[in-house]
């Protein structure tokens, strides 16, 4: 059975890990959360690329057959450098998310939300237009969604959650998109609150989109009991305090590594 390496800037990529385990329960996985350097979303493309390369080298040294870049920001800016350096296939969340959005959209008017780095890279916008010529894409950064999700403030009835979601998404709704890509690891946790703000809009979860592609490439081995291991670059305790909520399964141990 192939071992899938997955990295993210921190804990958020566990939503991608979760989608992969849902699609491929027998998968062996090695997850690295760069918790010492999170967040990536407000850093330059050059800095994020250097971080991404270091994470990938640690995973490659431990032995992986396939690399999933769970972090949308790193997927948006670092894939060419990662593919140049690694000898295993590398898949990022942007292309699968864009393809699902294009299939879902009737009007071709598609919204993307993500970190500042993801939005200003233009990666989703370009991938959507490659997949559908003439698509109109509007992209907005929603930086406060990340700390909200990490605090566990995701209840759509909560007035702070509603206020923040409304502030970011009212302009997106006004732009008349029929499909919205959740282009950040943390946003699936806010899906109910987001859905409430943009009723009738199809929400595309890039975590589910990449999980379907990983399954299509690797296939499921129902006889195999998958094994999940976790690495972090800062102290494991903080990661462990929230990891189970993001993964939807118990995470009881994580090893500290220096990248």
203, containing H or E segment: strand 202-205
Nearer of residues 4 and 146 to ligand DGL, judged by Cβ: 146
Residue 107 Cβ, how far from ligand DGL at the closest point, in Å? Answer: 26
Nearer residue to ligand DGL within complex by CB, 72 or 125:
72
C-alpha span between 197 and 191 (Å, rounded): 10
Comparing CB distances to ligand DGL, the nearer of 31 and 132 is 31
> Please, what is the end-to-end C-alpha distance for the chain in angstroms?
27
Does 73 sit near ligand DGL (CB under 6 A)? Answer: yes
Among residues 72, 105, 154, 179, the one that binds ligand DGL under rule CB under 6 A: 72
- Cis amide prior to 39 (ω within 30 degrees): yes
Task: Verify binding: residue 15, ligand DGL, rule CB under 6 A.
Answer: no
Residue 183 C-beta: closest distance to ligand DGL, Å: 7
Rg (CA), the chain: 17
Q: Quick check: is 142 catalytic? A: no
| Contact flag: residue 242 with ligand DGL (CB under 6 A) | no
Report the nearest approach of ligand DGL to the CB of residue 161 (Å).
Answer: 18
Helix (H) or strand (E) holding 216: helix 206-218
* CA 131 and chain centroid, separation: 20
User: Of 19, 38, 149, 184, which one is the catalytic site residue?
Assistant: 184
In what order do the strands lie in the sheet containing 136-141?
A: 136-141, 109-114, 179-183, 202-205
28 near ligand DGL, judged by CB under 6 A: no
Helix%, strand%, coil% for the chain, nearest 5: 50, 20, 35
Cβ contact 187:119 at 8 Å: no
Query: DSSP letters of 17-31?
Result: HHHHHHH-TT-EEEE
Residue 96 contacts ligand DGL per CB under 6 A: no
**Closest approach of Cβ 16 to ligand DGL, in Å?**
9
Which of residues 49, 55, 179, 185 is near ligand DGL by CB under 6 A? Answer: 185
The answer to whether 185 and 142 have CB atoms below 8 angstroms apart is: no
- 184 is an active site residue: yes
92 binds ligand DGL, rule: CB under 6 A:
no
Distance between CA atoms of residues 106 and 92, nearest Å? 25
* 154 contacts ligand DGL (rule: CB under 6 A): no
Segment 110 to 149, residues that bind ligand DGL, using CB under 6 A: 114-115, 118, 146
Q: Which residues are at the interface with ligand DGL (CB under 6 A)?
A: 8-9, 12, 38-41, 71-73, 114-115, 118, 146, 184-186
**Residues tagged active-site:** 71, 184
């Amino acid at each position: 059975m192939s071992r899938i390496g997955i990295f993210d800037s921190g804990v958020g990529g566990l939503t991608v890990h979760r989608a992969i385990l849902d699609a491929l329960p027998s998968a062996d996985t090695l997850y690295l959360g760069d918790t010492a350097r999170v967040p990536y979303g407000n850093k330059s493309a050059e800095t994020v690329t250097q971080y991404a390369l270091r994470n990938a080298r640690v995973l490659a040294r431990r032995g992986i057959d396939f690399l999933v870049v769970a972090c949308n920001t790193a997927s948006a800016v670092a894939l060419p450098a990662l593919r140049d350096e690694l000898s295993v296939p590398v898949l990022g969340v942007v292309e699968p998310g864009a393809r699902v959005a294009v299939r879902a959209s009737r009007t071709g008017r598609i919204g993307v939300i993500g970190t500042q780095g993801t939005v200003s890279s233009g990666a989703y916008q370009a991938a959507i237009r490659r997949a559908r010529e003439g698509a109109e894409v509007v992209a907005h950064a929603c930086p406060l969604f990340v700390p909200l999700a990490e605090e566990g403030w995701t209840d759509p009835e909560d007035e702070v959650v509603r206020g923040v979601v409304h502030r970011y998404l009212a302009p997106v709704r006004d732009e008349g998109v029929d499909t919205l890509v959740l282009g950040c690891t943390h946003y699936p946790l806010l899906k109910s609150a987001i859905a409430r703000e943009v009723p009738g809009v199809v929400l595309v979860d890039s975590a589910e989109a990449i999980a379907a592609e990983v399954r299509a490439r690797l296939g499921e081995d129902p006889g195999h009991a998958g094994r999940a291991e976790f690495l972090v670059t800062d102290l494991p305790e903080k990661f462990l305090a929230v990891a189970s909520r993001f993964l939807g399964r118990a995470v009881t141990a994580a090893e500290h590594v220096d990248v």
